[in-house]
């Protein structure tokens, strides 16, 4: 395993798996306590077989009302969304639901740290972008502007996260620097 | 709907429903942003019927690795577990899993506000108890002591939450008072 550059993420893990491994490291080393929220599911039918575990036989995916991850770091409330795109030149804003944007804005209002981690899978480039910048791009779209964030804008307004080992996606470094 | 005493909770709603309604009120009125985490489920088989939503056909309940609720209030990280008991005289500690206790302790270490909301369903009595007190009772059990928290101890170390309307379980009042 290489310690430099983006080599580590070339092993084909998803952004979510990489973030989960990062959070496990942060937790085990008393750096932060941040978790992925479970996928919300509407459960309709459950079987209770004798002498074995309950089996969900009918359920549906529900839209999440918040973001993917939250927790605590140095006494501060941390809240973020992680998104991957296969696009080459931009990150489409349709990847966000309106209520996710509203949630990010609301977290900022309450004094929390809110941001997005965007991965351009084709390049293995992962960017940290503050929610305030996401909101600016969202408003540009609302006013008839472009429906995406160009990769150049990600490079300019975001911070490239260099993947490494054992902290695969070291996003807390950005919090130390930016807040 | 009565404004005093515990009448409101007599309508037979579960503690979880009451807390969700409380959190919806807190969110809509810009008081706090606190949510119940989805129930964690291990998805095994999903059908993708044509022209309709994906159906989960086999899934299992997983043990949660954290507590039920978390979020932000006045810039502070809030994290709690809600438990109901039908017991008359005590709250059994076996309602907690070890990893929940560890999570509560960890949240305290990172500077968050961690607590438990305990409901004695037979009496419609709801208590707010700080995680530090829960840990004390947990340690007493570890040292061979009683395996529960008596209702008298809940009354002594906890704070009775008077249910009301529209803030059904006004637990943030305790945070203002106790932290
Ligand atoms: Mg996501
Ligand atoms: Mg619970």
CATH assignment of the domain containing B106: 3.40.1350.10
In a domain, A122, yes or no: yes
Q: Which residues have C-beta under 5 Å from ligand 2, the single-atom ion?
A: B 68, 82
Section A167-176 average pLDDT: 97
Q: Is A41 on the interface with B (CB under 8 A)?
A: yes
Confidence of residue B65 (pLDDT cuts 50, 70, 90): confident
Cβ-defined contact of B33 to A106 (cutoff 8 Å):
yes
Domain count, chain B: 1
Look up the pTM and report it. 0.91
User: Do residues B167 and B20 lie in contact, with contact meaning Cβ atoms separated by under 8 Å?
Assistant: no
Question: What is the pLDDT at residue B12?
Answer: 59
A57-79, pLDDT tens digit by residue?
A: 999 999 988 999 999 999 999 99
- Cα(B61)–Cα(A115) distance, integer angstroms: 30
Q: How far is A18 from chain B (nearest CA, A)?
A: 18
Cβ-defined contact of B103 to A33 (cutoff 8 Å):
yes
| Axis crossing angle, helix A131-142 with helix A98-109, rounded to the nearest 10 | 130
Residues in B touching A60 (Cβ below 8 Å): 53-56
In a domain, A93, yes or no: yes
In a domain, A1, yes or no: no
Select the residue of B55, B73, B111 nearest A74 (Cβ to Cβ): B111
In a domain, A2, yes or no: no
CB atoms within 10 A of CB A36: 17
- DSSP letter, residue B1: -
- Cα(B111)–Cα(A143) distance, integer angstroms: 41
Select the residue of A56, A76, A110 nearest B60 (Cβ to Cβ): A56
In a domain, B56, yes or no: yes
Residues in A touching B39 (Cβ below 8 Å): 38, 41, 43
B151-161, pLDDT tens digit by residue?
A: 999 999 999 99
Section B142-149 average pLDDT: 97
Report the separation in Å between the CA atom of B28 and the middle of ligand 1, taken as the mean of its atom positions: 24
In a domain, B1, yes or no: no
A20-66, pLDDT tens digit by residue?
A: 999 999 999 999 999 999 999 999 999 999 999 999 999 999 998 89
In a domain, A141, yes or no: yes
Q: Most B CBs within 10 Å: which of A110, A112, A131, A175, as the mutation test of the B interface?
A: A110
Helix and strand numbers (H, E) in chain B are: 5, 10
- Cα(A163)–Cα(A85) distance, integer angstroms: 17
Q: How many residues does chain A have?
A: 179
> Residue B37: closest CA among chain A residues belongs to which residue?
A37
- Which of A153, A170, A32 is CA-nearest to residue A93? A153
pLDDT higher than 50, residue B10? no
Select the residue of A53, A55, A109 nearest B30 (Cβ to Cβ): A109
In a domain, B36, yes or no: yes
User: Do residues A93 and A148 lie in contact, with contact meaning Cβ atoms separated by under 8 Å?
Assistant: yes
Question: What is the pLDDT at residue A12?
Answer: 59
**Which residue range(s) make up the domain with B172?**
7-178
- Cα(A146)–Cα(A138) distance, integer angstroms: 9
Share of chain B above pLDDT 70, in %: 93
User: Do residues A55 and B60 lie in contact, with contact meaning Cβ atoms separated by under 8 Å?
Assistant: yes
Q: Is A166 on the interface with B (CB under 8 A)?
A: no
Query: Which two three-digit tokens encode residue A2?
Result: 């290489």
């Amino acid at each position: 395993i290489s310690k430099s550059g983006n080599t580590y993420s070339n092993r084909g893990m998803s952004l979510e798996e990489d973030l989960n491994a990062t959070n496990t490291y942060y937790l085990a080393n008393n750096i932060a306590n941040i978790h992925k929220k479970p996928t919300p599911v509407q459960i309709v039918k459950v079987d209770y077989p004798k002498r074995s575990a309950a089996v969900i036989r009918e359920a549906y995916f529900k839209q999440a009302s918040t973001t993917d991850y939250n927790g605590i770091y140095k006494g501060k409330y941390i809240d973020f969304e992680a998104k991957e795109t296969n696009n080459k030149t931009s990150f489409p804003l349709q990847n966000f639901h309106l209520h996710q944007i509203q949630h990010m804005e609301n977290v900022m209002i309450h004094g929390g740290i809110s941001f997005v981690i965007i991965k351009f899978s084709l390049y293995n480039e992962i960017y940290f972008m503050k929610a305030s910048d996401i909101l600016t791009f969202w408003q540009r779209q609302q006013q008839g502007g472009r429906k995406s964030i160009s990769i150049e804008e990600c490079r300019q307004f975001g911070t490239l996260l260099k993947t490494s080992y054992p902290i695969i996606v070291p996003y807390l470094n950005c919090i130390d620097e930016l807040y």
